[in-house]
Structure 1
C-alpha cells in the first residue's frame, strides 16, 4: 500500500521557471531476507522474515526519482511507521512546490519541519527524500549523480563482507562464504557476545583470512575502559580501525579513547551532522570519519561532511545501513566522488534481495561498479513496488 502527498496546480506565472516538486509518495515494502544480521543494539534482519524498506518516489512535471529509508530500531529511533508518517505529514508538505534543484532550500525546510535535537531530526526519512531528489535531478539532466556534482574520482569501490552474530566455531564458514563470493575485506560486529568471545571471533576471522583488511564495529557497545582494554588486544590481531566503540554523545570518553587507543578510532553514530565532525576535529578526538548517507540525512549533508573531513585531513571510510539497491547506489556515488579507497561496509546485497530493481549496481565479487546511467542508475519496477507494499500502520494495529 502506498501513500502520497500532492501539490495543487500552481499558477506558474507567479513562480520562477523550472522543475518543481509536485508529488511525493511513500511505499513500505517487504524485501526477501537472505541472512540474519545483528548489531550490539539488537537484531537487524532475520532470515526467512521480510525486511521492511521505505521507498520514496518524488515527481516533478513528468520526471521522477527514487530514494530509500532503512528502518532499524536497534540502531536508531526511526521505525517504518515513523518514517512513513514523518514524510507524509511533515516533510512532503514542507517541500512541495520547491524547485527540485534547490537542495539547500529543501534541507532548510526539513529542519523547519522536524528540528534538530540530539540527532538531526528524522535523518532516515529526510535522506529518502533527499536521495530521490538527486535521482530525479540526474534523470532530468541525463547524467549520473556524480556528474551533477562535477565529482567522480573512482569507477569501482571495494566492499567488505560482514561477520555478525557467529560464534568462533562458525566464523570460518562465514569467511569462506565471503571469499567464495569474491570478497577480500572483512568487518566484524563486536559487542554482541562479551569481550572474550568477541576477541575469539575476531581471532577466528584473522586466522581464516590472514592477509585481509579487517576492522571492527562496536555500534556503541562499550564504555571507555572496556574499549581501551579491547583495543590493545585487537591491535595484536591486525585490526586496522575500531569503529564507534562508545555511545555517540560520549565526547569526553571518545577523546580519552583516542588519546589512549593503539588503534585508529572511527566515528559513525557520533557524526549525525557536519557540525558534529567539526566539534571532534576541534577537540582532536577523531582519527577516522565514517561517511553514511542515511545517518546524515541524505547526500546533501553527507557531501558537506565528507568535504570537511578531506579539508581537515581526517581519514574517510564508508558505511551503509543494510540498504537495498537504491541506498547502495547512492552511497557508491558519494564514495566515488570523494575517492574512498578503503573497503566499505555496504552490505545490503549480503543480507537482502532488491527484487524491485530491473537495472542496478553491478558487482564483480566484492567489487561494486559505480553506476553510469542517469540519476542513481537503478531502474525501479513500480508495479513490483506496489505489489510488495504493505500498510505498516494498519498492520501494527491488527
Structure 2
C-alpha cells in the first residue's frame, strides 16, 4: 500500500472560546492510502488538539515517513478486526490521533474508497443521529444568540461550555435556557475549569437548574478528588480529559472502578481511535457507566468516521457530533445537520482532497 499526507489549516468562522483559551485555526493532517495500480483510496485524519492531546502535530508528521515505509510491504486487511490489529502494530499508542487516522483510511479503502467505514442505517440514510447543540464561550449576547438559534432549530439537548467566564453569568445563561425551553436537556462542560475548592458550591448551584451532567469539573490527574466528586456530586459527572493516556484495558478498568463516574465522553482522536473507543465502551458497560461519543474539532473526514461508528449504536441518545459547521474551509461532504440530527446525504459528493 501507498501512504500520502497533506496538511490543512482549518479556519474557524469565529473565535472559538474554551476554558483553555481561544482558537482561530486548527492545523490537521489528512492521510491517503491506496493500493498499487488502483484508483480507489481511503482517507483518514490526524487532528491532535494543542494543550490537550498526548501528541503534537509535529510528532505525528515526524512518524509518518516511518509509517510510509512500513505500509509499503503490508497487504490490505480483510476485515474490521484485522484493520484494528494492524493499526495497533504499526502506530505507537502515544500517537492516538494517527491510530484513528490510519484506522479510518484503511476501513474506507476496505469498503472500496467511498468514505464508508460501516454498513449501517446512518450511512444508508435510514436513521439520523440525534446530537446536542453546542454553545461556545463568548460575551453574554453572543452566547444567548447561539442559544436562540439552537432552540429555533429544534435542539432538545444543549451543551454549554462553562468555567472560563464569570460563573454567575454562566448561571444566568442556563436560567435563560430554562425560561426559553423548560424541557431542554442541559449538559455543561467545564473542561477542568472549576477550582477544586469551589467545585461543590458550583455543583450545588447547577443542581438548581436540573442540569443533566457536567463534563470534567476539575483538571484531570486528581484521581482521589475526582472520586470524591463523583460520589458526592448532586448532578451526574462525566469524565472526558481524564481518559487520555489510558491505553490498556486493565488500566481503563482500574480508573473507572476507582472513580466510578456516571458517564464517560469518548473522543476517538484523543483516546486512540475506534478500537480503543470500543474497548472503553465495553469496560463502561460492564460497570454500569453510561457513555456518548463526541468529536474533537476534526474536519468532516474525522467527523464522518465518528458518526458512522456512532451509527453502530442507534439508540444511545444525544451525541456530540455537530462540529462540522465550525470551519470556513471544511472538507465538503454528505454530512448534513437537519435540526437536532446529523444525517448522511448520499446525493452529495465528497470534495476531492489534493495531495502533493
What TM-score do the two structures reach when normalised by structure 2? 0.85
**Does residue 16 of structure 2 align to residue 37 of structure 1?**
yes
- Which of residues 75, 89, 93 in structure 2 aligns to 1:109? 89
Match of 2:48 in 1: 71
Match of 1:19 in 2: none
Ranges in structure 2 where 5+ consecutive residues have no aligned partner: none
> 3-state SS of the aligned residue for 2:265?
strand
**Distance of aligned partners of 1:182 and 1:28 in 2 relative to their CA distance in 1, 3 Å threshold:** farther
- Which of residues 350, 364, 381 in structure 1 aligns to 2:352? 381
> 3-state SS of the aligned residue for 1:316?
strand
Where do 1:215-254 residues align within 5 Å? 215-254=187-226
**Distance of aligned partners of 1:35 and 1:42 in 2 relative to their CA distance in 1, 3 Å threshold:** same
Match of 2:290 in 1: 315
Task: Give the conservation status (yes or no) of the 8 Å contact 1:192–1:198.
Answer: no
Match of 1:55 in 2: 30
Match of 1:130 in 2: 103
Task: Give the conservation status (yes or no) of the 8 Å contact 1:189–1:216.
Answer: yes
- 1:110-155 per-residue CA deviation (whole Å, 9 max, x = no partner) reads 45xx3xxxxx412122221221112111226x8942239xx99x82
Match of 1:6 in 2: none
**Distance of aligned partners of 1:268 and 1:105 in 2 relative to their CA distance in 1, 3 Å threshold:** same
Separation in structure 2 between the aligned mates of residue 340 and residue 73 of structure 1, nearest angstrom:
33
Separation in structure 1 between the aligned mates of residue 330 and residue 180 of structure 2, nearest angstrom:
32
Task: Give the conservation status (yes or no) of the 8 Å contact 1:98–1:106.
Answer: no
Separation in structure 1 between the aligned mates of residue 253 and residue 200 of structure 2, nearest angstrom:
24
Deviation of residue 235 (structure 1)?
1.4
Task: Give the conservation status (yes or no) of the 8 Å contact 1:332–1:370.
Answer: no
- Which of residues 248, 251, 256 in structure 2 aligns to 1:281? 256
**Distance of aligned partners of 1:202 and 1:122 in 2 relative to their CA distance in 1, 3 Å threshold:** farther
**Distance of aligned partners of 1:370 and 1:296 in 2 relative to their CA distance in 1, 3 Å threshold:** farther
Separation in structure 2 between the aligned mates of residue 175 and residue 286 of structure 1, nearest angstrom:
28
> 3-state SS of the aligned residue for 1:294?
helix
**Distance of aligned partners of 1:245 and 1:176 in 2 relative to their CA distance in 1, 3 Å threshold:** same
What TM-score do the two structures reach when normalised by structure 1? 0.77
**Does residue 340 of structure 2 align to residue 360 of structure 1?**
no
- 1:219-275 per-residue CA deviation (whole Å, 9 max, x = no partner) reads 122344322221111111121011011222222111111111011111111223463
> 3-state SS of the aligned residue for 2:13?
coil
**Distance of aligned partners of 1:66 and 1:173 in 2 relative to their CA distance in 1, 3 Å threshold:** same
Deviation of residue 169 (structure 1)?
4.1
> 3-state SS of the aligned residue for 1:31?
strand
Match of 2:233 in 1: 261
Separation in structure 2 between the aligned mates of residue 91 and residue 231 of structure 1, nearest angstrom:
46
Separation in structure 1 between the aligned mates of residue 111 and residue 72 of structure 2, nearest angstrom:
19
Separation in structure 1 between the aligned mates of residue 231 and residue 5 of structure 2, nearest angstrom:
45
- Which of residues 134, 137, 149 in structure 2 aligns to 1:162? 134
Match of 1:97 in 2: 73
**Does residue 149 of structure 2 align to residue 177 of structure 1?**
yes
Deviation of residue 73 (structure 1)?
0.8
- 1:330-374 per-residue CA deviation (whole Å, 9 max, x = no partner) reads 1112222133532222232231145433x421322221125779x
